[in-house]
Structures are given as C-alpha cells and as structure tokens.
Amino acid sequence: MSEGAGSLAEDLAAENRLLRRIIEVTSGDPDVREVSQRVASLVTEATGSDVCFVHLVEEDRAKVVLAGGTPPFDELAGTVELALGEGVAGWVAENAEPAVVPDKWADPRYRYIPALRGEDYTSMVSVPLLVRGRRVVGVLNVHSKAARAYGEREVALLTRVADLLARTVDNASLYRRLAEREEALEEFATRIIDAQEHERHRLAGEIHDGISQRLISLWYHLLAAEDAADRPELLARELSVAKELATDALGDARSAISGLRPSVLDDLGLGPSLESLARSLPVAEVDVKVTHVELAPHVEVALYRIAQEAVQNVVKHAGATSVRLELGLEDECVRLTVRDDGRGFAAVERDGPGGSDGRYSYGMGGIRERAELIGARLSVVSRPGKGTTLEVVVPFRSG
C-alpha cells in the first residue's frame, strides 16, 4: 500500500483490516518472539515493503536486540545487537521518535549489519514501540529494496502498529518479572521455613541437653534436701548443689535467648556491639571503623551474627595478626567488611545475592544464609597467604 494508491476508502479499509489482524496477534499468548515475527510478516505485506524487523530494548544492557523478523531473518532473533543510540534503530530507541530514511547509505545514522544483508535494501522507516507514550520498549523497522519515500500516512500506520505491539512487549515483561518475583518469593519462603526449623531444632537441643537436664537434677537434689531436713549438713550440701544447678539452668536459658537476639544489641546498639566484638579478639592489631546507623532489628541481628561468625573464623582458622572491621553507609547501602591478613584459602571471588554456592571455607554456609535472608550481597575474596576479605552489602532501610 503506497501513498495515493487506490481510493482513500480502500486504503482506510485495508489499514483497518491490518490493525484488526495485529490486534488478534498481539492479544494472544504473549510470546514476544512469535508475535514479533507474525507482526513483521503482516506489516511487510500491508506496506508493500520487502522486509520488517522488530528490535527490543534491553535497558539493563543499554542494547537494542533483534526479536523477530520476516523469513529468513527470523532465525537471527536474539543474535543481532546494537548499542542504544547506534544505527537507525538505536537512534530511534534513544530519541523516541520515528526516522524516515529514503537512502540509508546517505544517512550517517545507518549501521551496516552483514547478517541482515543491508546491501539488498535502499530505503527504510523506523518507529519506536512506546509504552504509554513515554518509555521505548522496542523499534519497528521496515525496509524496501527500491528507493522509496515513505509518507506520513505510512509512518502513522506503522506507529499505530508499534503501539499495539508495545503493549504486548510490556505485558510480556510484566509477566516475566512477576514469574521471577513469585519464584524468588517461593525460594525466600523456603529459606525462611528452613531457618525457622533450624532455629527450633537448635533451641530444642539446648533446652533438652542443657536446661531440662539441669532442672531434672535440680528436682532430685531438692527431693534429697527435703528428705534431709533433720540432717543439717546433708541438707546444706543438697541445697548448695541445687543452687548451682539453678544458676547453670538460668545461664543456659539466657544463652538460648541470646541465640535469638544478642542482648548486647539491645544494650548498646549495632555499632558499639561490633566495636565490642572486634576489641575482644585475641589479635595483636584490631582496627575498627563503625558508622552509627539504625536498621530494622532483624537486619541488625543478621549483620551482627555475620560479623561474629567472620571474626570467629579469623580466630579459629586464619592465624591473623591484624583484623579490620568496618560498618559504613554509602550509596543508600550499608556495608559490613571484615578483613584479615591471615593464611587465607583457595582462590575465591564471588559476588551476588547471598554470595555463592556455599563452598567457601569454614562457617560460610551460615553467613551466606543470613545474607540471603536480608537480601544482602555477599562477597568473599581470599588468596592463600594473602588473607581474606568478607563484605556484605544490604540496601539501607531505617529501623
């Protein structure tokens, strides 16, 4: 359909038929690649062009990537990329406005891509896929072998097609993000349940092995004291033992409670608690740099436990002569760092949500789990003989 071809009524009818078919295609299952290829074929036929490409914008990589096209170029989906601003498609994506190119070889914006056989085509028009008229999610390109001046009506039609396709692209992105979030929430819930079960087992063990056993012994000694009421020496001895058992049971109870939330956090706060933890280390040189920051209680507990496990690893396994512990706030993130000059271990450089697969070294599994549960990024760098640096970065949310 070229400008002026046929009657105006016929042209309008043809445009309406195309838009209805585009709506049918884009209203189905949001498989972006399949929809892009079907739209490309419809557009090529309706505009009397020779080939059509659909490129999608990947914002995180600042790239424009081929998502579909008319055969045989449909097989190249996902393999052709342009930087944002590069080529006509990149320019349209960056500027969010159409580009009509009667002779692409004379246009400085054009970028030759051998895989797309650019030498076979002379003219082109490129329109952005806009979501709600603002955000560019892709680009629709139409090419013609013969020199051709695409008119305003054709650009307007392609713009309407691009708007319909943009909704499909945006919906597909929303579906994908929703699925990823649901998967992440499911994994997070599983970790929470596992952590809760682990904590219950730990508490049950402490109560059974410690508190319960001492209380049973206490009971028997109190019975013995009752029976020895008329023998002062035996009564005094049994009461003395009972007192010791009661004291020990109370200590075990406090220890179990402390395992849930260290009392030092309630007494001092996170910063001073970390300073106290570091200065208790039996290491020749301890350097502490702590910035006061108020965090949610569960984040404070997690960071304190991570630091506690890290410095225990230093004492038990590193053989370090100096340790540096830092807590700071930068770029809306709280950063906890524990660095030592000890013996280190096998080469490790891991960075990401929760760190790695847990195959670091001593005690790293618990640290990794705690980091994951607060959405922190864990990084551990170590070299044999070069010490170890552990860093935890968590988005800052005021307590």
Decide if 302 is inside a domain: yes
**Minimum mean pLDDT among 109-113, 200-204, 292-296, 314-318: which range?**
200-204
User: Do residues 187 and 268 both lie within one domain?
Assistant: no
User: Do residues 48 and 18 both lie within one domain?
Assistant: yes
The pair phi, psi for residue 338, each rounded to 5°, is -125, 115
Decide if 321 is inside a domain: yes
Confidence check: pLDDT of 386 > 90:
no
Q: What is the pLDDT of residue 352?
A: 43
User: Do residues 83 and 201 both lie within one domain?
Assistant: no
Query: What does the pLDDT average to over 106-119?
Result: 93
Confidence check: pLDDT of 1 > 50:
no
Q: What is the pLDDT of residue 261?
A: 62
- DSSP-based three-state secondary structure for 188: helix
Reported as a single tens digit per residue, the pLDDT across 75-93 is: 898 899 999 999 999 999 9
Q: What is the pLDDT of residue 221?
A: 83
Q: What is the pLDDT of residue 5?
A: 42
The pair phi, psi for residue 68, each rounded to 5°, is -175, 165
Q: What is the pLDDT of residue 143?
A: 94
186/29: higher pLDDT: 186
**Domain end marker among 179, 198, 224:** 179
Decide if 2 is inside a domain: no
User: Do residues 279 and 341 both lie within one domain?
Assistant: yes
Decide if 351 is inside a domain: yes
- DSSP-based three-state secondary structure for 161: helix
User: Do residues 305 and 198 both lie within one domain?
Assistant: no
Confidence check: pLDDT of 365 > 80:
no
**Domain end marker among 179, 196, 213:** 179
Confidence check: pLDDT of 186 > 90:
no
**Pairwise CA distance, residues 185 & 196, whole Å:** 16
pLDDT, mean over the chain: 81
- DSSP-based three-state secondary structure for 230: coil
Confidence check: pLDDT of 121 > 90:
yes
The pair phi, psi for residue 321, each rounded to 5°, is -105, -15
For the record, the structure tokens of 333 come out as 């993130």
Decide if 1 is inside a domain: no
**Minimum mean pLDDT among 205-214, 276-285, 318-327, 337-346: which range?**
205-214
**Into how many domains does the chain fold?**
3
**What is the CATH classification number for the domain harbouring 56?**
3.30.450.40
12/145: higher pLDDT: 145
For the record, the structure tokens of 110 come out as 């054009």
Query: What does the pLDDT average to over 123-151?
Result: 90
Reported as a single tens digit per residue, the pLDDT across 95-106 is: 999 999 999 999
Decide if 3 is inside a domain: no
> What percentage of the chain exceeds 90 in pLDDT?
23
- By CB atoms closer than 10 A (0-12, 13-18, 19+), residue 197 is exposed
**Domain end marker among 260, 278, 308:** 260
**What is the CATH classification number for the domain harbouring 348?**
3.30.565.10
**Pairwise CA distance, residues 97 & 161, whole Å:** 14
User: Do residues 164 and 294 both lie within one domain?
Assistant: no
Decide if 91 is inside a domain: yes
User: Do residues 225 and 296 both lie within one domain?
Assistant: no
User: Do residues 212 and 301 both lie within one domain?
Assistant: no
For residue 52, what is the enclosing H or E element?
strand 51-58
Distances (CA, A) of 330 to 224, 333, 336: 63, 5, 11
Decide if 38 is inside a domain: yes
User: Do residues 249 and 321 both lie within one domain?
Assistant: no
DSSP assignment string, 83-135: ETTSHHHHHHHHHTS-EEES-GGG-TT----GGGTGGG--EEEEEEEEETTTE
Reported as a single tens digit per residue, the pLDDT across 290-343 is: 888 888 888 888 898 899 888 888 888 888 888 889 999 888 889 999 989 888
For the record, the structure tokens of 299 come out as 């984040």
User: Do residues 32 and 141 both lie within one domain?
Assistant: yes
**Distance between terminal CA atoms of the chain?**
63
Closest by Cα among 33, 36, 75 to 162? 36
pLDDT-based confidence at 354, cuts 50/70/90? very low
**Minimum mean pLDDT among 171-185, 188-202, 365-379, 384-398: which range?**
188-202
- Structural domain including 373 reads 264-395
**Minimum mean pLDDT among 213-227, 248-262, 295-309, 350-364: which range?**
350-364
Confidence check: pLDDT of 358 > 60:
no
List, edge to edge, every strand of the sheet that includes 388-395.
285-290, 322-330, 333-340, 388-395, 377-382, 348-353
**Pairwise CA distance, residues 75 & 68, whole Å:** 8
Confidence check: pLDDT of 65 > 80:
yes
User: Do residues 42 and 172 both lie within one domain?
Assistant: yes
User: Do residues 144 and 232 both lie within one domain?
Assistant: no
Query: What does the pLDDT average to over 109-119?
Result: 93
Closest by Cα among 245, 254, 382, 246 to 318? 382
Closest by Cα among 89, 85, 14 to 47? 14
Reported as a single tens digit per residue, the pLDDT across 149-179 is: 888 988 988 888 888 888 888 887 777 777 7
